[in-house]
Chains A and B, each alone.
Chain A
Amino acid sequence: DVQLVESGGVVVQPGGSLRLSCAASGFNFGYYTMHWVRQRPGKSLEWVSLFSWDGITTFYADSVKGRFTISRDNGKNSLFLQMNSLRPEDTGLYYCASEREQFFKYWGQGTLVTVSS
């Protein structure tokens, strides 16, 4: 069975940093473009970032560009999100998701990030 398991979400102060991880299993991780999608409290889903399957391309939402960095380790079937200069509006549930033809085929259950003093 396909599994995506996020971890690393905690309470952090504004201006702080955090690294989220996503452990993948049950599929050929290295063949898939992977994404981070978040849901802020009371809001809809919001795409955050992607890392292409070929390891060449990354993209970011304007709201996180310059503060967040996505990376992956295909040998360890893992996706990461380094989050710096965190703001209260970054609070939310962060999901990793695998992409199939620009749709989000598989998702994890999410990890909760709270930015608060």
Chain B
Amino acid sequence: IVMTQSPATLSVSPGERATLSCRASQSVATRLAWYQLKPGQAPRLLIYDASTRATGVPARFSGSGSGTEFALTINSLQSEDFAVYYCQQCSEWPPRGEGTFGQGTKLEIK
């Protein structure tokens, strides 16, 4: 399974909405997670099972999709939301190495 994220870079103004996409080369049902990475910090699980928010994740983060098409939507962007976001499939387990995660989307301030 190959995970493809788009766009590679997304420029959005604070307060606006960002929608990040993740596509799987074959169905992963809802076995998909989203992570946030910031330099010097531990990666953070945001969404699992495609649409379930992890503990402590603000309600402005939402996940949707099933099968091969997924989206992470961030409403009312805050300054702390500008980071790199990765999707991960776990339909194949154990993981294979490269291909478990997408290539990432960098969310930058417009």
Interface residues of A (CB under 8 A from B): 4, 44-48, 50, 59, 61-64, 95, 97, 100-110
Cα distance, A50 to B101, chains bound together (Å): 16
Interface of A is mostly: strand
Q: Of A4, A62, A95, A100, which one neighbours B97 at CB under 8 angstroms?
A: A62
- Residue ID in chain B nearest A3 by CB atoms: B42
Tell me whether A47 and B95 are in contact (CB under 8 A). Answer: yes
Chain B residue contacts of A44, Cβ below 8 A: 86, 98, 101-104
**Which residues does chain B contribute within 8 Å of A108, judged by CB atoms?**
42
List B contacts of A59 (CB < 8 A): 94-95
- The answer on a CB contact under 8 Å between B33 and A103 is yes
A104 touching B35 in the complex, CB below 8 Å, given contacts A46-B97, A50-B94, A61-B97:
yes
Q: What size tier do the contact residues of chain B reach?
A: 20 to 34
Q: How far is the CA of A56 from the CA of B100 in the complex (A)?
A: 23
Contact, CB under 8 Å: A107 / B40: no
- Taking CB atoms, residues of chain A closer than 8 Å to B35 are 45, 104
> Shortest beta-carbon distance, A116 to chain B, in Å?
21
Chain A residue nearest to B5 (CB atoms) is: A44
**How far, in Å, is B63 (CB) from chain A's closest CB?**
12
Q: A48-B97, A62-B96, A102-B90 are in contact. List 13 more A-B contacts (CB 8 A).
A: A44-B104, A45-B86, A47-B100, A59-B94, A61-B96, A61-B98, A63-B98, A95-B42, A97-B43, A102-B93, A104-B43, A107-B42, A107-B44
